[in-house]
């Protein structure tokens, strides 16, 4: 006969004991609120956590309908239907969020995670349901605040514009966190200037940059967006900008500071606001602005937990506003530099009338120019340096200065671009050699340029192109248009094939249009044929050039462009025959006297004063003598009376004259030196048929 081990009897009794122990713990120690309901949804049993939740004696709870216990349910009908559904189907509901607002919670909304399970006995008879509820109010509030912070970090700072950044903040916090948001920013910050150091002085003006209200209640505005004014003192707003600390303010008619700012007080009463949270926009002790958040109606007042969120929100926004301010400042400086580097009234010549259109793309590197050359010719220039900011603007100024210097040497367009390309390569090498981390090295130097020279005597225009993929438009006097077929060379600063020239005959009264590709960017995206649209706009030779520039802007649009849009128009004229005189000279030293007689007679007909005529006579004598002795026939003398008096002596020798200072004992060698002293400008222009030595003298008005 075997004897039963007592430990076996103890182990067999464990399951029942454990069940009772678990139930006892659930109803006496569990932090989860448990409610046992019968089939009529009356409360049969509750645990201690439930009593703590509702702060109701247990004897007053048992036997009462479930909805009586939770009298403050936000949607009691939905909760009842949920429980009846579990009772009928046996399908449990887990972690359903239920909101309530009980008197014992001081009117604050509570959130509970509710799970419902049907109760049945061993035979399957339905006994009722068990409802487990966990208070998740704090976690829900924390998640909501985290969502607000994530929204602010995602939405605020998408642009580099101070006002747009403030508007992004207002949109991010209304209605998710506040019913009304007002963002004000120091006026100097909007202009890109350094923000003042806190505490903010009372007379510092602030601009109302953004306003947003739930359901669009615009009547809650004390001042319109864009209004600039100083804060009244003392108010919570001024105090916040003094100690740079956010604060929560209960709003009521008994608030003593409301009388200090009647307009804000009226807006607060009109909106029914009862709670204010005001925070500074400050960075490293400097004041950028102010954020004022309001809650109205049935919204819960701000609490201490909201202060931590607002500190994070205002810190992120202040950083974004400061970034936008710095960009505005750099853009302003770059635009100022660019404006001073560009010609306000391109010089040109009397044979060319010019007008221009320059649409800035945020401190870009677009430029244009009209340069007076020798022989009454005019150089027309349009170019662009890729990039933005002050470095791009200064590079543009450097290239423009080099072009002016090279143009004075009377170089052919292709040779000028070749030397300009050498300069661009030097600048690119300097930029690449900057220390690591320098912001300039992130922008490789790339530039384009279209250089053209109009000759009114030959009635031709010679083009050379460096990376400019937009061929110029030529509008004939009858309104017909054509595009010059150019050979496009490499962009400036790079390597590639040599530059080439293209010469086009230009009738008197024609209009030349030189432009950068970005002029057509907006219209190209809309129509697909922006070049055709430009030709259509320009095909009106009867309109003034400035009107044509305006027409081009209206037709092509001023949409977003990543750079400058430039259009340069030039209307050509031939030189008047009565203001020029040309003589072919024989290869004889006596021709110097003949040239002097021709010159004096012509200058007298033109009404040139005696002093200028005498100087011109000596200049012509020296230049002709020099050509007869050192040049190659045939020789030609030409006088041109334009804004200046121009003397030109042409011969077929490619050798350039050399100006030197003759010694006291020398009998010759002073001719070119004398001519250079009497003229304001002089130079040598090489052509395929030889060279031309020229001088320019200013005429007495």
- Number of Cβ within a 10 Å radius of residue 177: 24
For 663-699, what is each residue's pLDDT tens digit? 444 444 466 777 888 888 988 888 888 899 999 999 8
For 134-165, what is each residue's pLDDT tens digit? 777 777 777 878 888 888 899 998 888 899 99
Please indicate whether the domains covering 20-135 and 343-572 agree at the CATH topology level: no
Got the DSSP string for 206-246?
A: EEEEEEEEGGG-GGG-SS-TT-EEPPPSSSHHHHHHHH---
Domain boundaries in the chain? 20-135, 141-331, 343-572, 577-698
For 207-259, what is each residue's pLDDT tens digit? 999 999 887 666 667 788 888 888 888 889 989 998 899 999 888 777 788 88
CATH number for the segment(s) 20-135 = 3.30.450.20
Residues 566 and 360: their CA atoms lie apart, in Å, by 8
Q: How much is the pLDDT for 673?
A: 78
For 453-506, what is each residue's pLDDT tens digit? 999 999 999 999 998 888 899 999 999 999 998 989 899 987 777 899 999 999
CATH 3.30.565.10 fits 577-698, yes or no: yes
Identify the band that residue 9 occupies on the pLDDT scale cut at 50, 70 and 90: very low
CATH classification number, 141-331, choose in 3.30.429.10, 3.40.367.20, 3.30.450.40, 3.90.190.20: 3.30.450.40
Please check whether residue 572 is in contact with residue 516, taking contact to mean a CB–CB distance below 8 angstroms: no
Please check whether residue 271 is in contact with residue 182, taking contact to mean a CB–CB distance below 8 angstroms: no
Would you put residue 362 in left (φ > 0), alpha (ψ -120 to 50) or beta? left
Residues 448 and 489: their CA atoms lie apart, in Å, by 9
Please check whether residue 638 is in contact with residue 376, taking contact to mean a CB–CB distance below 8 angstroms: no
Residues 177 and 582: their CA atoms lie apart, in Å, by 85
For 378-413, what is each residue's pLDDT tens digit? 999 999 988 877 788 888 888 999 999 999 989 999
List C-alpha distances in Å: 119 to 15, 50, 81, 93: 20, 19, 17, 13
Identify the band that residue 1 occupies on the pLDDT scale cut at 50, 70 and 90: very low
Q: Which of 91-95, 348-352, 444-448 has the lowest mean pLDDT?
A: 348-352
For 526-563, what is each residue's pLDDT tens digit? 666 788 888 999 999 999 999 999 998 888 876 666 67
**What is the pTM (predicted TM-score) of this model?**
0.65
- Produce one character per residue of 341-362: b if its CB has 16 or more CB atoms within 10 Å, e if not: bbbeebebbebbbbbbbbbbbb
| Residues whose CB is less than 8 angstroms from the CB of residue 458 and which lie 6 or more positions away in sequence, other chains included | none
For 600-620, what is each residue's pLDDT tens digit? 999 999 999 999 999 999 999
**Does 65 have pLDDT greater than 90?**
no
β partners of residue 585: 635
- The structure tokens listed for 688 are 């395929």
Helix (H, G, I), strand (E, B) or coil at 531: helix
Helix (H) or strand (E) holding 414: helix 413-432
Residues 266 and 585: their CA atoms lie apart, in Å, by 94
Q: How much is the pLDDT for 4?
A: 52
CATH 3.60.40.10 fits 343-572, yes or no: yes
Residues 624 and 641: their CA atoms lie apart, in Å, by 19
Q: Which of 165-169, 259-263, 305-309, 320-324 has the lowest mean pLDDT?
A: 259-263
């Amino acid at each position: 006969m075997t004897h039963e081990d007592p430990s076996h009897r103890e182990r067999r009794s464990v399951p029942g004991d454990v069940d009772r122990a678990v139930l006892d713990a659930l109803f006496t120690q569990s932090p989860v609120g448990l409610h046992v309901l019968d089939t009529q949804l009356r409360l049969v049993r509750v645990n201690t956590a439930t009593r703590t939740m509702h702060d109701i004696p247990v004897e007053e709870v048992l036997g009462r309908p479930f909805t009586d216990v939770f009298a403050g349910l936000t949607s009691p009908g939905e909760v009842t239907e949920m429980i009846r559904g579990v009772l009928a189907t046996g399908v449990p509901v887990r972690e359903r969020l239920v909101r309530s607002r009980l008197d014992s919670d001081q009117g604050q909304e509570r959130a509970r995670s509710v799970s419902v399970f049907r109760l049945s006995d061993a035979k399957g008879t339905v006994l009722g349901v068990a409802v487990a509820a966990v208070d998740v109010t704090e976690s829900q509030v924390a998640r909501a605040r985290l969502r607000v912070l994530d929204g602010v970090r995602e939405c605020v700072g998408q642009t580099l514009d101070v006002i747009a950044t403030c508007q992004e903040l207002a949109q991010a916090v209304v209605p998710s966190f506040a019913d009304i948001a007002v963002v004000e920013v120091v006026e100097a910050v909007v202009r890109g200037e350094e923000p003042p150091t806190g505490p903010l002085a009372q007379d510092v003006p602030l601009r109302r940059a953004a306003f947003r209200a739930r359901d669009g209640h615009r009547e809650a505005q004390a001042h319109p967006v864009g209004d600039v004014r100083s804060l009244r003192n003392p108010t919570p707003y001024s105090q916040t900008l003094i100690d740079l600390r956010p604060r929560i303010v209960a709003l009521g008619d008994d608030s003593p500071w409301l009388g200090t700012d009647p307009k804000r007080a009226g807006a607060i009463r009109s909106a029914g606001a009862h709670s204010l949270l005001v925070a500074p926009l400050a960075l490293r002790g400097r004041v950028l602005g102010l954020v004022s958040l309001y809650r109205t109606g049935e919204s819960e007042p701000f609490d201490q937990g909201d202060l931590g969120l607002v500190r994070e929100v205002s810190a992120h926004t202040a950083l974004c506003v400061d970034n936008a301010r710095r960009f505005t400042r750099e853009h302003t400086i770059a635009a100022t530099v660019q404006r001073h580097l560009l010609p306000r009234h391109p010089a040109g010549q009397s044979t060319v009338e010019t007008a221009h259109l320059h649409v800035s793309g945020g401190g870009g590197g677009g430029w244009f120019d009209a340069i007076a050359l020798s022989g009454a010719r005019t150089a027309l220039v349009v170019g662009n340096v890729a990039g933005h900011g002050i470095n791009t603007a200064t590079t543009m100024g450097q290239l423009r200065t080099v072009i002016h210097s090279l143009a004075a040497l009377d170089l052919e367009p292709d040779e000028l671009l070749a030397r300009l390309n050498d300069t661009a390569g030097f600048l690119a090498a300097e930029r690449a050699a900057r220390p690591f981390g320098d912001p300039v090295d992130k922008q490789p130097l790339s530039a384009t340029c279209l250089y053209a020279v109009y000759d009114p005597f030959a009635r031709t225009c010679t083009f050379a192109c460096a990376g400019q993929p937009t061929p110029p438009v030529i509008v004939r006097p009858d309104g017909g248009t054509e595009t010059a077929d150019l050979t496009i060379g490499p962009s400036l600063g790079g390597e590639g094939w040599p530059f080439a020239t293209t010469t086009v005959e230009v009738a008197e009264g024609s209009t030349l249009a030189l432009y950068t590709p970005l002029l057509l960017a907006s219209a190209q995206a809309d129509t697909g044929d922006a070049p055709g649209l430009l030709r259509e706009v320009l095909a009106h030779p009867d309109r003034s050039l400035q009107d044509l520039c305006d027409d081009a802007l209206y037709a092509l649009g001023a949409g977003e462009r990543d750079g400058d849009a430039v259009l340069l128009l030039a209307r050509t004229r031939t030189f008047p025959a009565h203001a020029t005189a040309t003589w072919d000279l024989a290869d004889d030293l006596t021709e110097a006297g003949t040239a002097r007689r021709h010159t004096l007679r012509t200058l007298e007909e033109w009404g040139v004063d005696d002093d200028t005529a005498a100087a011109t006579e000596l200049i012509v004598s020296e230049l002709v003598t020099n050509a007869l002795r050192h040049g190659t026939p045939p020789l030609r003398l030409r006088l041109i009376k334009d804004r200046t008096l121009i003397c030109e002596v042409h011969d077929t020798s490619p050798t350039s004259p050399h100006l030197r200072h003759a010694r006291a004992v020398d009998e010759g060698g002073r001719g070119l030196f004398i001519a250079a002293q009497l003229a304001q400008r002089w130079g040598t222009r090489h052509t395929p048929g030889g060279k031309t030595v020229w001088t320019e003298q200013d005429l007495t008005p």
